[in-house]
Amino acid sequence: MQSDENDSISNESLNADQDDDKNISAHTSSGSINDSSIHINETKRATGYQAKKPNWWKRMAGRRGTSGQRKAISRMTAKGFVIPTKLGKYQHEVNVAQVFENPPNGEAITSESILVPLIVGENGARRSNVECIPKDKHVALEIGFGLGDNILTNATKFPHHHYIGAEIHQPGVGIALMRMEKAIEAETFWLEQTWVDENDLTQIQERENDPSMKKPYDNLRIYPGDGIKLLGYLPDNSLDSIYLTFPDPWPKEEHHYWRVIQEETVCEIGRVLKPGGCFYLATDAIAFDEWTQGIFQIVLEKNRLQFGNERWLGVDPCPDRSLWLPAISKYEEKGIEEGRHIVCRCWKYTGEEM
């Protein structure tokens, strides 16, 4: 959860959807981990991720955004930059290749155009018989992009990569889409962010005059909903990178089941990552960093018992943030001013292709 101009930018959904939960089960039932003998400790037992939040949280977070933000969401949806959130077809998955097949051309993306049915294969696994993964493309998902500083910067810096940005907080979605819309109309990029490496800005400004370059943000799609639920609709081994940037830490112990990182979400992240793909975390909450490391340790130990190998490898030091977190958001700047320390972590998925 980022808190730039808004105090509560969240990457989690406010309403649990029964079909979404069924679709996650369809993907994960064969590879789920049920051994409960390993604990963080007796009071910090990891449980399933709960998307539905209490009413006080909903009132604090807000959902609608301003009239201008809502109109920008509507316009950019009609232009084809927004992935629909109503993906309620049980045992279907998103054809990621289709999502990026054509540049946005004034036609909205519909669930019917990107969902394909899962069929039961000879080994009992459910998968689509359609090629759903873009060929020869790096595909990345950012869960909880806040106001869009990092996802827009990545899409600008790496125009030949595909990016999906997920954010539940509608004001954040609206601001990000307004930035995109304004830049597209000017046939340029949004360049008002604070850069980790100022040389990147210089190179992008020089590149703008290259007539062979694609139009701004043809490589970016926005999902205005819960990124964890979106994972349940993504094909196995379909992503190269997943970024979780400054999530809501839910610091109170009694709220631990609302934290994004749980055993089941780490398993889902591993399912959708390609072998060699990476999960990145940026946080300024020490408790959330410790919680995440503890959850990964549980998953690694269970994987070792079940599969004979851990299937994850901690990457230390974390790869240079200019490669995945090239922008410094207002939230991060505020945290630095207040003395909070930014922690960046990376885990590489080493499991076999599913």
Q: What are the catalytic residues?
A: 248
Backbone phi and psi for residue 313, each to the nearest 5 degrees, phi listed first: -135, 120
Which among 200, 187, 186 has a CA at the least distance from the CA of 153? 200
CA angle 258, 260, 265 (to 5 degrees): 115
Which residues have a Cβ under 8 Å from the Cβ of 215 and sit 6 or more positions away? 103, 184, 187
User: Quick check: 235 and 272 in contact, CB under 8 A?
Assistant: yes
User: Quick check: 344 and 280 in contact, CB under 8 A?
Assistant: yes
User: Quick check: 143 and 227 in contact, CB under 8 A?
Assistant: yes
DSSP labels, 179-246:
HHHHHHHTTS----SEESSHHHHHHHHHHTT-TTSPPTTTTEEEE-S-HHHHHTTSPTT-EEEEEEES
Round to whole Å and give the CA distance between 153 and 338: 25
User: Quick check: 225 and 85 in contact, CB under 8 A?
Assistant: yes
3 state DSSP class of 73: helix
Round to whole Å and give the CA distance between 86 and 109: 11
| CA dist 156 → 183, 203, 208, 215, 217 (Å) | 11, 11, 10, 10, 7
User: Quick check: 221 and 79 in contact, CB under 8 A?
Assistant: no
